[in-house]
């Protein structure tokens, strides 16, 4: 449930909330990434007018708006979709156990919907070993780059492929990057989780669902 503010919102706060709501709809309905959703929402609401940085919602605010949108409009389908993706993520993580896989993104934070893919971060001494592993499993993949989660200028190699009819993206990090990587986001949620933590989430989900029946 959204907590209503105890003071009148400023024009900036109202505009930020409007942008966040529009962006959240794009993320939930169309699977648009956060950055693109913000830009499209700003264009939709403000046209070509220049935008101050303090007007843009941060990712934590967007995540909460997507969560609310899912509850309002996809409450009868989104929980099952999320559970399906988490179960698939666990299976893929078990396959990739030698590379210390960690789940991140919408499937971890609980906002995953119809268009969401599974995002895993692997921590390995050799990115080439992951490529060879996938090729030996007859998995064809595309290679791209992703931003480093620690904000470094050098991007990380990312392997993307379809598995069990779902999109999988593997961001390949060095083993040392795992040090200090298990931390929480500004919203208080974990930014990445190993297979044990994801299994615990699934158990918790099933327990809550059974408790509601």
CATH number of the domain at 160, please: 3.30.460.10
Q: State which residues form the domain around 95.
A: 78-212
The predicted pLDDT at position 207 comes to 80
Q: Are residues 64 and 82 in the same domain?
A: no
Domain total for the chain?
A: 2
CA distance linking residue 121 with residue 177, whole number of Å: 10
CA distance linking residue 87 with residue 182, whole number of Å: 21
The last residue of a domain, from among 73, 92, 114: 73
pTM of the model: 0.88
Q: Are residues 109 and 183 in the same domain?
A: yes
The last residue of a domain, from among 50, 73, 96: 73
Listed as ranges, residues in the chain with pLDDT below 70 are 1-8, 182-188, 211-213
* 88 contacts: CB under 8 Å, gap ≥ 6: 118, 163, 164, 166
Residue 193, in any domain of the structure = yes
Q: Are residues 61 and 151 in the same domain?
A: no
Q: Are residues 16 and 61 in the same domain?
A: yes
The predicted pLDDT at position 1 comes to 46
Order of strands across the sheet with 156-163? 142-146, 156-163, 166-174, 118-124, 102-104, 192-193
Q: Are residues 64 and 129 in the same domain?
A: no
Task: Tell me which DSSP letter residue 138 carries.
Answer: T
- Phi first, then psi: what are they for 42, rounded to 5°? -60, -45
The sign one gets for the Cα dihedral 16, 19, 25, 28 is negative
Residue 6, in any domain of the structure = no
Helix (H, G, I), strand (E, B) or coil at 128: helix
Q: Are residues 116 and 183 in the same domain?
A: yes
The predicted pLDDT at position 187 comes to 54
The predicted pLDDT at position 52 comes to 78
The last residue of a domain, from among 43, 73, 103: 73
């Amino acid at each position: 449930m959204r907590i209503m503010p105890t003071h009148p919102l400023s024009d900036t706060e109202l505009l930020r909330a409007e942008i966040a709501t529009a962006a959240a709809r794009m993320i939930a309905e169309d699977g648009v990434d956060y950055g693109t959703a913000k830009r499209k929402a700003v264009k939709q609401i403000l046209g070509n007018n220049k935008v101050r940085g303090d007007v843009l919602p941060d990712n934590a605010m967007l995540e909460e708006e997507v969560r609310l949108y899912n509850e309002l409009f996809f409450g009868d389908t989104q929980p099952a979709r999320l559970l399906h993706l988490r179960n698939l993520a666990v299976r893929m993580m078990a396959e990739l156990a030698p590379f210390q896989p960690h789940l991140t993104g919408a499937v971890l934070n609980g906002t995953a919907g119809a268009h969401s893919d599974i995002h895993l971060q692997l921590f390995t001494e050799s990115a080439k070993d992951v490529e060879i592993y996938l090729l030996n499993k007859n998995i064809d993949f595309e290679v791209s780059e992703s931003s480093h989660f620690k904000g470094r200028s050098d991007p990380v190699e990312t392997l993307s492929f379809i598995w069990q009819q779902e999109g999988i993206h593997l961001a390949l990090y060095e083993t040392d990057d795992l040090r200090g990587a298990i931390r929480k986001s500004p919203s208080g949620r974990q930014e990445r989780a190993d297979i044990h933590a994801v299994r615990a989430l699934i158990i918790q989900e099933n327990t809550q669902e059974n408790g509601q029946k």
